[in-house]
Every structure is written in structure tokens, then in C-alpha cells.
């Protein structure tokens, strides 16, 4: 390639760069529902919730269930318009009311609007595939949400579900179709439950 051709190529490249507008950085969406502190996940293996003393129906909670649940909770809170924080207190296994006080104090220092304490008591994976499961996934958890300003519990929700075959419950037809006609994993079922409970909480806050 001679010099004239090189100069022409450089000129064309320069013009192309000038004519292409620079991409603007993506604008971050400000959280519309404020800051929320996520407490460490409480895993319960007996039949009572340590925060509200409601009766539970526990099932095995095996790895990686807690991690999958924690990740899902954080991601869905962000999707719902919260700015999330995670933090630890010195003794999370202490008396639930003492731990609650420590979390509220920490949330206040972080200028959080809410504190959420998740309680996981069931996370059993399905046996089989999305098309054929010999045992469906089963998930059970509580979400306890507190207002940091006064330390009172604003809302508490419970989700406990296992998919049922249509042969056992024809009323499940709507859910079966909505879920794409497949058997969900425990993570997918947990995500559905978290989203459902948070929608209920936000609806209650707007009243």
C-alpha cells in the first residue's frame, strides 16, 4: 500500500469516528423505595418461627439453598426499587429480640429506611427434570420487614409451596400454564414467592 492510500484510509477512519456520536453512559435508576438492610438469613429446622412464633412446616434446607435464596432476595429487592445493604452483627445467633435491636441500630447508622429479616425453613430441590419430576420442589420462608425509624414491624409474609400435579389438583391449571408448563426448581419457586410477597408489602405501604 502506497503512502497516498494510507493517508486516505486514515482520513476515512477519522471521519467515521467523528460522525459516530459517543455512547452516553447508562443512567442509573434511583431507588424509589429507599434503602433496606438485609439481615443475615435465619435458617430454622424446628416448627416455630423465632421472630413471630408462627407454626412452620419445615423440610430439609441443604446447600446451596441458602446462598441461592439470599442472591434471589437481593436481586428482586433491587428490581422492586430498593437500594440494598448487607451487614453482620457480632452475634446473629443471640436471642431474636436482642439481634433485632442490633440490626435496627445498624440500619439507623446506615440511614436505611427498612430492615428485612428473612427466615428460611424449607428449600427442597425437585427430583427429575422440568418436564418430568418424581418429586416437585418445595420452598418455605418468612419475610419480616421493619421500619427503622420506630423499630416496629411493618409487615410479615409467609410463603410455603410445592407444585402439585394437575392429576391431583385441577385448580393448579392456571399456575401450570403461567409457569410455562414445567416443573420449577427450588430457586425458581423461591424467586416467585419472594416477588409475590414483596409486591404485597409494597401494596400495603401505598394504602
Please give the Cα distance from 123 to 165 (Å, whole number). 19
Please check whether residue 10 lies inside any domain of the structure.
Answer: no
Please check whether residue 4 lies inside any domain of the structure.
Answer: no
> What are the φ/ψ torsions at residue 124 (nearest 5 degrees)?
-110, 125
> What are the φ/ψ torsions at residue 77 (nearest 5 degrees)?
-60, -40
Q: Within 10 Å of residue 159's Cβ, how many Cβ atoms?
A: 19
What is the distance of C-alpha 28 from the center of its chain?
A: 20
Q: Of 163, 165, 172, 161, which Cα lies nearest the Cα of 196? A: 161
Please check whether residue 130 lies inside any domain of the structure.
Answer: yes
Task: Tell me the CATH number at 102.
Answer: 3.40.50
Please check whether residue 104 lies inside any domain of the structure.
Answer: yes
Residue 166 pLDDT: 42
Please give the Cα distance from 141 to 120 (Å, whole number). 4
Please give the Cα distance from 29 to 25 (Å, whole number). 12
Please check whether residue 16 lies inside any domain of the structure.
Answer: no
Please check whether residue 15 lies inside any domain of the structure.
Answer: no
Residue 80 pLDDT: 97
The H-or-E segment that residue 134 falls in is strand 133-135
pLDDT of the chain, 207 residues: tens digit per residue: 554 444 444 444 444 434 444 444 344 455 789 999 999 999 999 999 999 999 999 999 989 999 999 999 999 999 999 999 998 888 766 788 889 999 999 999 999 999 999 999 999 998 877 666 678 899 999 999 999 999 999 999 999 998 765 445 444 555 656 656 688 999 999 999 999 999 999 999 887
Please give the Cα distance from 90 to 62 (Å, whole number). 25
Q: How many domains does the chain have?
A: 1
Which residues constitute the domain of residue 109? 31-205
Residue 95 pLDDT: 83
Nearby residues of 176 by Cβ (< 8 Å), 6 or more positions away? 166
Residue 19 pLDDT: 44
Residue 170 pLDDT: 47
Please check whether residue 127 lies inside any domain of the structure.
Answer: yes
Please check whether residue 14 lies inside any domain of the structure.
Answer: no
Q: What is the pTM of this model?
A: 0.79
What's the chain's Rg over C-alpha atoms?
24
Amino acid at each position: 500500500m502506497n503512502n497516498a492510500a494510507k493517508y486516505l484510509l486514515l482520513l476515512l477512519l477519522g471521519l467515521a469516528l467523528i460522525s459516530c456520536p459517543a455512547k452516553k453512559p447508562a443512567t442509573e435508576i434511583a431507588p424509589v423505595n429507599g434503602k433496606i438492610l438485609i439481615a443475615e438469613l435465619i435458617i430454622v429446622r424446628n416448627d416455630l418461627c423465632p421472630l413471630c412464633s408462627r407454626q412452620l412446616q419445615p423440610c430439609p434446607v441443604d446447600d446451596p439453598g441458602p446462598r441461592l435464596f439470599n442472591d434471589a432476595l437481593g436481586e428482586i429487592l433491587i428490581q422492586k426499587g430498593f437500594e440494598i445493604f448487607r451487614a453482620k452483627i457480632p452475634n446473629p445467633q443471640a436471642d431474636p429480640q436482642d439481634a433485632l435491636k442490633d440490626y435496627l441500630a445498624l440500619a439507623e447508622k446506615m440511614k436505611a429506611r427498612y430492615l428485612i429479616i428473612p427466615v428460611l425453613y424449607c428449600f427442597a430441590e425437585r427430583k427429575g427434570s422440568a418436564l418430568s419430576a418424581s418429586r416437585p420442589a418445595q420452598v418455605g420462608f418468612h419475610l419480616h420487614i421493619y421500619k427503622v425509624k420506630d423499630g416496629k414491624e411493618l409487615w410479615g409474609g409467609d410463603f410455603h409451596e410445592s407444585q402439585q400435579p394437575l392429576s391431583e389438583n385441577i385448580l393448579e391449571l392456571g399456575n401450570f400454564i403461567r409457569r410455562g408448563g414445567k416443573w420449577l426448581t427450588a430457586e425458581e419457586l423461591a424467586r416467585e414467592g419472594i416477588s409475590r410477597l414483596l409486591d404485597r408489602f409494597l401494596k400495603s405501604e401505598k394504602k
